[in-house]
A and B are shown apart, each in its own frame.
Chain A
Amino acid sequence: MYIVIAGAGRLGLILAKKLREDDHQVCLIDKNESLCNKLAGELKSIMIICGDATYPDILKEAKIEKANVCVSAASHDEDNIIICYLAKELFGVQRTVARVNDPKHTPLYKYMEVDNPVDSTSIIARIVEEEASFTDVMSLLSIKKGRLSIVRVDIPENSPVANKPLKDIVLPHNSVLVSILRGPDIIIPYGSTVILPGDEVIAATLIDAEKDLLKSLIGKI
């Protein structure tokens, strides 16, 4: 794929390197001339363009019309919106992704038809909240911007599900037990499988059902 990234800040840069490692063609655009010179020396296989990506001639220089995806990672939301808008309207780029700097600006991204506004602040806030509030629970993976999460739950001695077979346990809707880790064993659970205190349960859950799931597994939150 050919991917154009506007903004060579921390996010833009990490992303460019990562995509390059995965063998994609990458072009990185940034306003800062000295940064561009430095990057051009360091990153031989990434095309670096110095200029303001909210101007069409700069996007043209990046051959954005050939891009499969345009990623806008600038630090001003109005710039990201304009870049994605130009990429789509003027150059026919199929997919636009942008970093949302201030969550309050997310609706404007949607009205201006940015395909995928990624609100990192809210995503991180959710992760931090999770890490901070539940010690015996760990989020292993979150999919679809955190809407689906795979969690690991340590089953305590007084858990309401301890010593019961799975078929007698009522779990909230939109959540499911994936496996049980007991010492060195990995158990794929069936209706007759019994959960023991000390087990680690791996479960998949929609974010809305997560609290209910924890309540039913641990008994408290």
Chain B
Amino acid sequence: MKYIIIIGCGKSGKELAQELSKSENVVAVDKSLRNLDTLGEDFNGKKVWADALDINTLEEAGIKEANAIFLLTGNDNLNLVVGKVAKRKYGVKKVVLQVNDAIKKKIFKEEGVVIINRTQLIVETLKKSIA
């Protein structure tokens, strides 16, 4: 079983957390209690209600043991900062973060960090659908 941290439980974070918690050890982190509540009964993991920019939160979520971390808050800069720290300071093997801006995606490219751009993904899918 892998140990996975998901930061940001908006729409995609929530679904990912629910899916992954069926087979893996999942910790969901969000600063909004309401977002954590939407995980509902389907979620079989730990919830941490706190600020992800605080390293105590990250350590409480178990970042030292984590195999992977997903950063899916709507805040690009937060995702980037916590993602970099997860990689550099804690050596988390797989770091996946969401960035809405293509320029930042390019600048912050780093080995072992996967940066996802939602708009790009949608455009790709749309293009494929008429191919």
Can you name 19 A-B pairs with beta carbons within 8 Å?
A54-B76, A54-B104, A56-B107, A76-B77, A77-B53, A78-B75, A78-B77, A78-B78, A79-B77, A81-B77, A82-B77, A82-B81, A104-B53, A104-B56, A105-B53, A105-B54, A108-B55, A108-B82, A111-B89
Query: Number of B interface residues, CB 8 Å?
Result: 20
- A104-B51, A104-B53 known; 9 other A-B pairs, CB under 8 Å? A54-B76, A56-B107, A76-B77, A78-B81, A107-B55, A108-B81, A111-B88, A111-B89, A112-B85
B80 within 8 A of A: yes
Complex: how many Å from CA A61 to CA B53? 29
What residues of A have a CB within 8 angstroms of the CB of B105 in the complex? none
Query: Which residues 70-84 in B have Cβ within 8 Å of A in the complex?
Result: 75-78, 80-82, 84
- B residues engaging A (CB < 8 A)? 51, 53-56, 75-78, 80-82, 84-85, 88-89, 101, 103-104, 107
Name the one of B53, B76, B104, B107 contacting A108, with C-beta atoms under 8 angstroms.
B53
The SS class assigned to the B binding surface is helix
Query: Which residues 62-94 in A have Cβ within 8 Å of B in the complex?
Result: 76-79, 81-82, 85-86, 90
Complex: how many Å from CA A143 to CA B51? 32
The SS class assigned to the A binding surface is helix
Min CB distance, A187 to chain B, in Å?
A: 49
Name the one of A55, A81, A102, A104 contacting B81, with C-beta atoms under 8 angstroms.
A81
Complex: how many Å from CA A16 to CA B51? 31
Question: Which partner residue on chain B sits nearest A90 by CB separation?
Answer: B107
What residues of A have a CB within 8 angstroms of the CB of B88 in the complex? 111
What residues of A have a CB within 8 angstroms of the CB of B51 in the complex? 102, 104
What residues of B have a CB within 8 angstroms of the CB of A104 in the complex? 51, 53-54, 56
Q: How large is the interface on A (under 10, 10 to 19, 20 to 34, 35 or more residues)?
A: 20 to 34
Complex: how many Å from CA A104 to CA B81? 14
What residues of B have a CB within 8 angstroms of the CB of A76 in the complex? 77
Name the one of A57, A102, A107, A112 contacting B84, with C-beta atoms under 8 angstroms.
A112
Question: Which partner residue on chain A sits nearest B85 by CB separation?
Answer: A111
Are A86 and B53 in touch, CB under 8 angstroms?
no
Q: Which of B55, B77, B78, B80 gathers the greatest number of chain A CB atoms within 10 Å?
A: B77
Question: Which partner residue on chain B sits nearest A57 by CB separation?
Answer: B103
Closest 6 CB pairs of A and B: A78-B77, A104-B54, A78-B78, A82-B77, A105-B53, A107-B55
Complex: how many Å from CA A56 to CA B76? 14
Are B107 and A54 in touch, CB under 8 angstroms?
no
Min CB distance, B66 to chain A, in Å?
A: 16
What residues of B have a CB within 8 angstroms of the CB of A111 in the complex? 84-85, 88-89
Are B77 and A108 in touch, CB under 8 angstroms?
no
Min CB distance, A190 to chain B, in Å?
A: 50
Min CB distance, B98 to chain A, in Å?
A: 14
Question: Which partner residue on chain A sits nearest B57 by CB separation?
Answer: A104
Question: Which partner residue on chain A sits nearest B84 by CB separation?
Answer: A112
